[in-house]
Amino acid sequence: MVKVNAPCLSLEASGAIGKAIVFSKWKGRPYARTLVKPANPKSGGQVGVRSMFKFLSQNWASVSAPSQATWEERADQKVVSPFNAFMGFNQFRYRDFQAPSSLDPPAATDTPAVIGVTTAVAGVRSITVTAPITTANDGWGVMLFRGLAPGFSTAFDNLIAVGLIAGTDDIVFVDSPLVPDTYYYNFREFTLDGQLGAEDGEINDTVV
């Protein structure tokens, strides 16, 4: 991304030129960048990044005031808001397959939540996957991963959803739409301070 003072002889230029360059504004700053179109917007990596982005953006407001305040120094360095510092840092952490953290810097010393017996129940073009939280501890969220073969390893490119831990409420995901096949799932919890828990154990069901 390139910052510009007066793109196309206009302080308010926006849009694409020749399907090659895009002009726009970010936080009031005009910029120009190369037009990029994802080859597959539903690839595993794309789905995972969007799932984490959704979780972070929806749950910033519930982060405690002291934890939000820890992002101010990073925000000042980047000349952005604490929210944007939080979002950017945690998205980069996820790209390295690390858990997000509600505070900066991540301590990764908290105790993950404890998940009970997980279930996967097939429906019409869907599977409902449930993770019962038996002990919340310092848990912040649960990642759900999906594979098409038994024994798959949880990874950056097979995350499909992230759920918020709210006490001992069950976390329920509806995976849909699905084509007929057998789908395998696994969970990993993460803490408020950025510790990623171990895999909880694989479950599966078949959509017919």
Same domain, 183 and 165: yes
Strand 114-115 vs strand 203-207: parallel, antiparallel, or unpaired? unpaired
SS3 sequence, 28-76? CEEEEEECCCCCCCCCHHHHHHHHHHHHHHHHHHHCCHHHHHCCHHHHH
Domain-embedded: residue 143: yes
pLDDT band with cut points at 50, 70 and 90 for residue 17: confident
Look over the chain and give the mean of its residue pLDDT values, rounded to a whole number: 90
Query: What pLDDT is attached to residue 12?
Result: 64
Same domain, 12 and 59: no
Query: What pLDDT is attached to residue 39?
Result: 57
Same domain, 137 and 57: no
Token pair listed for 56: 């972070």
Domain extent, residue 147, equals 114-207
Number of domains in the chain: 3
Same domain, 78 and 118: no
pLDDT tens-place string over residues 161-189: 999 999 999 999 999 999 999 999 999 99
Taking the model in full, what pTM does it have?
0.80
pLDDT band with cut points at 50, 70 and 90 for residue 29: confident
